[in-house]
Chain A
Amino acid sequence: MNRPHRRCESLTRRDMLRMGSLAPLGLGLTDLFRLQAASPNSFRAKAKSCILLWLDGGPSHLETFDLKPDAPAEVRGPFKAISTNVGGIQLCELLANTAKVCDKLAILRSMTSPLGEHGLANHFLMTGYKPSPVIQYPQYGSVLAHVRSMPSVLPPFITIPENRSSVAGFLGDKYEPFATRGDPSKPDFSVRDLDFFPGVDETRILRRRTYLAEFDRAQASFEAREDRSDSAFEKAYRLVTSHEAKRAFHLSEEPAEVRARYGPRMFGQSCLLARRLIERGVPFVSVNNTGWDTHENLALQLRDGYSGAKVGVGLIPTFDQAFSALVTDLSERNLLVDTLVIVMGEFGRTPKLNSRGGRDHWPRVFSVVLAGGGVQGGQVIGSSDRVGESPDDNPITPNDLACTIYTLLGVDPNLELHTADGRPVRVNQGGKLIRGIVPS
């Protein structure tokens, strides 16, 4: 177990058998996990909530957090590296604002996964499990919504603006996220259908609730099933009848200078909305940013945004302003200490530029950034090789990342969840806590 872990997959069946064979010595699997947990890494979880900035499509590690300024041009790509407020750590020149908050970030440069197709990789990164034909694993937000008791009437898992596919897996519809929809940067942004229909007041809403409960009770008794008391309707009912909760979505309450700090575009204002939600006790908010599947023309997509742009408004500058504002804002409000911020996409991009000036899918090594929630900032963990092709040091699998995220959020990775037919499934199977992620 102490040997450096260098196999192709993080934990093979053989490993499990080998560990299983320790059983005669009176050492079971759980003991092993406990031994691990009792290592110097054991600590008290600080993160109460989590903001996931999901960069959909797979952001290029070589243009963001893992530049290779000394590599040949076809690897190096179009952008330069700049220094940050932490000595020895360099980032892409387009991340100038992020460079100023680098002391709050842990940059993981040795993420590695075998899955290079969007759907599969997405599932792996969001759940820590490789896709299986028999079990749909739940994503972080759904697990957290399931584990945490609900402190507010706001939904426990909110996505801005929405998710394209089901994310709750075997935990079921109840733990699907609430999608805000719409663009928070628009002046008329509001979440649909939060206010009563004209002519329907609270008395009538209450009556509808009573009537509906009677119908559903009748159906359940016919099917000989238990009535589900906490129905989707009940959640909607609680939300629409709470004026306080609904204010979370009113971005117009924020001072103009705060709104400006996050940048005028959708991603920035979505990050601001995420902060308002976290502030009100929502355990998990995911901000989905699309467009990172940059198979062609990196300079246009990542920097410029449109051809001929004088000031770059592409993916990275937009991200840079929003992300740095979020970290700073959370920190100033003393929220960063108990909010874990995760920046990731499903994989990295090929070390060599392709003929269209883009990069294709590359899961063998890529970068993920964590901040807040007890994470030790100002450090790089792991490294990729000279050309950003493979992990050089301390390879980290999405499985390890999941173990780490759950641990930081105070969810025991060994906790058993249950599928609809009662099968126990651990929150995380076989992942290892990333070394050095928390202060020792």
Chain B
Amino acid sequence: MKTFAWFCLALWIEDCVQAVDFETDVMPVLTKAGCNSGACHGAAAGRGGFHLSLLGANPNSDYDAIVHEFEGRRNNQAHPEKSLILAKPTGNLDHGGDVVLDETGPGAKVLMEWIRSGVPRGTSAKLTNLKVEPNRYVGTKFPTTVSLRAIAIFDHGVQTDVTDRTVFSSADPAAVEIEESEGNEESEGNIVARIKRPGQHVVLARFLNRVVPIQFIIPLSEKAVDLSSQPRGNWIDEEILQLLSELRIPISPPSSSNEWLRRVTLDLAGRLPEPATVERIVLQDSPDVRSGYVDELLASEAFNDYWTLKFSKLLRFHSLPNDNEGLNAYSEWLRGEIHDGQGLDRIARQLLTATGDSHFIGPANFGRMVSDARDQAELVGQLFMGTKLGCANCHNHPLDKWTQDDYHGLAAVFSKLERGREVRLTSRGAVTNLRTGEPAVPRIPGFLDLDGPGDHRVAFADWLLSKDNRYFARATVNRLWQAMFGRGLVEPTDDLRDTNPPTHPELLHKLADDFVNNGYNIRHTLKQIALSHTYARSGEIIPGNDSDDRFYSHAYGRPLLPEVLIDAISDVTGVTGNFNGHASGSRAITIIDPLEPVAALDILGRCSKAKGCDENGQTNGGLSSQLHLLNGDLLNQKLVDTNGRLNKLLDAGHSDETIVREYYIRAIGRNPTEPESKHWCQQIMDTDEIKRKEKLQDFVWSLLNSRSFLENH
């Protein structure tokens, strides 16, 4: 039987005049069996003396390792079945990695045939595309199974079904499991995804150097949810509502004017709306009024301060020893660019290419915030491409396409930079490529070696900011989205890769296009988001959407940034913060240097310099910050301040009712309801003036410790 099969195979090969190809036939077998994974022979040091490139990134060296190394004993022409490459994985010879290949399966057959035909290097046809079927699956019930297929398209025009050589892996095996029945003489192998949970899931198909995500969508409820008649503010809502209706998640009603107003003011300007603003907007709320108000916020100085802070964290701003001038110049420049509404492409280009006296030329400090060229390459990858290149320092990235050549090549782009006060390019400076041990060739990751003369930083910037390049745009709009909703379409926001797909791929795509087509203008994108109905949803949950934390069926409460919280406490209590070395009345969001010691900011958990703060790790539940609000001076001192709001209101002889209303509108952006007002007046009323004052202090304290205040809803 077996012989017959081999005979057929041989005939077929004869027919096609096509031998087994090393790259497109043999390597996928090794990848699929896990031979070249990071834990086995793909480790930087190999295993048991046998090294393969990680996930088959380097076919030439793999071919060498199998065919020539070890005196050629890994393949045996005389007795193919005794070849180590075959006998070890099938368990016929002792193998440290155990049996990983079925002796009678298709993988072993490919290896056998390849050895028999004389281990040809083959045609090395280039894979131009990998199509998976389905690439998006919207089901109606679970558990269910879906057959998967993968078709490879090569540059010589041949299309081949490569399902059995493709690695399908589920990001979450508890939700989707990949099952495979290996083929035999009678029937072909079959790969199915077994879907075990409702929701949105991802399976990744990997063949050679391509990774394609497959989305599975299974509704969370049996009842259809009709969202077709829901109003749309713009195209953002279209995308959001489509996925919600596929998942059958009902949406919460629109938020009140007050809720929207507080939310958008905090998100765009990092502060609470003034009582006068609340009255003005709420009384005449309409789409035009909202649009006008968003424009107002975008043009405000508060916006400039807040977004300078946000970008400074991404850029890892921090002071250098005995050198505050650099950081001052840097933040002044950044704030100026944001103030002037410069496109982010222009800002990026300056950061990437500036040189000169860093005490006067702000963006020249970009390279001074990192320790060396490799560190700079990682920052550039994280910031401008939304990717973590770090893994590729020592080995090719296991989950992404980045190679060591990419990593060290990008580092080499910045290797000639001198990072003293005077930032300049020198003729010296090289980065060693850890793979080759040679000086790395400057390189645009995944794209092109830059071996000519000149400033390679310019070439990199040209590529990054070219019309069709979406790395920077996608990374940026994803961060803007996160700023407005508390989570990115891709999480974490600095880990965009094919193997970590967005919740809403099409939306991310459109946001990025729209951003580029509008001059990389962050105000434009923020406005689109702010005016969508998605953004204006209430935080109230309704049956069927309470567990949703990523599809935007209702608003998600999120803690205020420590800087924003401290300023908000100052604003409500009427006592400005007092930060050493800053003019009185300074706001916490203008404290750009994370190394500047401000105890309250550290206790409330501001992000520190070392890692940058792309991760959405904001919490306000910590015991330390709770203790600080309870017993510390941050809030308590301001409540008893003789010039604070409470003492002024009392001195002016205001009633409890007026005072309660004043604090409600300042802290949570709305008037108290009739019962609320009555309740608090009863609680606070006291004939003893001292006791009344204490009760009012306790009232304000409690309001400022409530979730309504500490979170943006």
Contact = CB atoms under 8 A, between A and B. Distances in A.
Interface of A: 6-9, 12-14, 114, 116-117, 132-135, 155, 165-166, 173-174, 176, 178-179, 181, 192-197, 199-200, 204-205, 207-208, 211-212, 214-216, 218-220, 222-225, 232-233, 235-237, 239-240, 420-425
B448 interface: no
Nearest to A14: B100
Given A223-B541, A420-B549, A421-B547, A193 B627 contact: yes
B38 interface: yes
A178 B636 CA distance: 22
Interface string B619-634: 1111110111011110
B627 A176 contact: no
Nearest to B45: A364
Given A173-B619, A194-B631, A114 B39 contact: yes
Given A215-B703, A222-B540, A192 B627 contact: yes
Contacts of A223: 539-541, 557, 713
Contact of A240 (B197, B540, B627, B676): B627
Contact of A207 (B39, B542, B698): B698
Interface stretch (B82-90, B126-134, B473-481, B704-712): B704-712
A197 B640 CA distance: 11
B172 A192 contact: no
Contacts of A7: 96-98
B676 A218 contact: yes
Interface in B485-524: 499-500
A218 B668 CA distance: 12
B391 interface: yes
Given A8-B40, A197-B633, A225-B541, A207 B627 contact: no
A235 B37 contact: no
Given A205-B630, A207-B695, 6 more contacts: A6-B98, A7-B96, A8-B40, A117-B390, A197-B633, A422-B547
Contact of A116 (B394, B622, B628, B640): B394
Contact of A423 (B96, B98, B174): B174
B708 A215 contact: yes
Given A8-B97, A117-B390, A225 B546 contact: yes
B695 A236 contact: no
Contact of B706 (A12, A219, A225): A219
Contacts of B676: 218
B424 interface: no
Top 3 closest pairs, chain A to chain B, by CB: A173-B621, A211-B702, A215-B706
B228 to A, nearest CB: 25
Contacts of B636: 197, 200
A193 B631 contact: yes
Contacts of A218: 676, 708
B554 to A, nearest CB: 8
Contacts of B38: 114
Contacts of B679: 214
A149 to B, nearest CB: 18
B190 interface: no
A219 B708 contact: yes
B624 A178 contact: yes
Contacts of A212: 702, 705-706
Interface string B95-137: 0111010000000000000000000000000000000000000
Contacts of B97: 6-8
Contacts of B96: 6-8
Contacts of A420: 547, 549
Contacts of B683: 211
A6 B391 CA distance: 26
Interface in B157-189: 171-175
A218 B708 CA distance: 9
Most central of A114, A117, A236, A237 by chain B CB within 10 Å? A236
A233 B173 CA distance: 37
A134 B620 CA distance: 23
B222 to A, nearest CB: 17
B272 interface: no
A237 B622 contact: no
Contacts, number: 151
A155 B626 CA distance: 13
B43 interface: yes
Contact of A179 (B172, B173, B391, B624): B624
22 contacts: A114-B43, A117-B391, A133-B499, A133-B500, A134-B171, A155-B623, A165-B617, A166-B617, A173-B619, A173-B622, A192-B628, A193-B630, A204-B694, A211-B699, A211-B701, A218-B676, A219-B706, A222-B540, A225-B541, A232-B621, A420-B549, A425-B174
Contacts of A196: 631
B47 interface: yes
A201 B658 CA distance: 27
A181 B627 contact: no
Contacts of B40: 8
B595 to A, nearest CB: 16
A197 B626 contact: no
Contact of A233 (B390, B549, B632, B705): B705
A262 to B, nearest CB: 25
B603 interface: yes
Contact of B623 (A165, A178, A204, A225): A178
A266 to B, nearest CB: 18
B623 A232 contact: yes
B631 A174 contact: no
Contacts of B546: 224-225
A239 B698 contact: no
Given A6-B96, A165-B617, A173-B621, A219 B43 contact: no
A176 B621 contact: yes
A235 B626 contact: yes
A232 B394 contact: no
B197 A236 contact: no
B669 to A, nearest CB: 13
Given A117-B391, A225-B541, A239 B623 contact: yes
User: Which of the listed residues A176, A420, A424 has the most CB atoms from chain B within 10 Å of its own CB?
Assistant: A176
B192 to A, nearest CB: 14
A132 B637 CA distance: 44
Chain B CB count within 10 A is highest, among A114, A178, A204, A211, for A211
A208 B701 contact: yes
B622 A192 contact: no
Nearest to A7: B98
A240 B632 CA distance: 12
A236 B630 contact: yes
A107 to B, nearest CB: 25
A145 B96 CA distance: 39
Contacts of B632: 192-193, 197
Residue among A7, A176, A179 with max Cβ neighbours from chain B (10 Å): A7
A6 B174 CA distance: 26
> Which of A181, A197, A220, A422 has the most B CB atoms < 10 Å from its CB?
A197
Contacts of A173: 619, 621-622
Interface in B512-553: 539-542, 546-547, 549
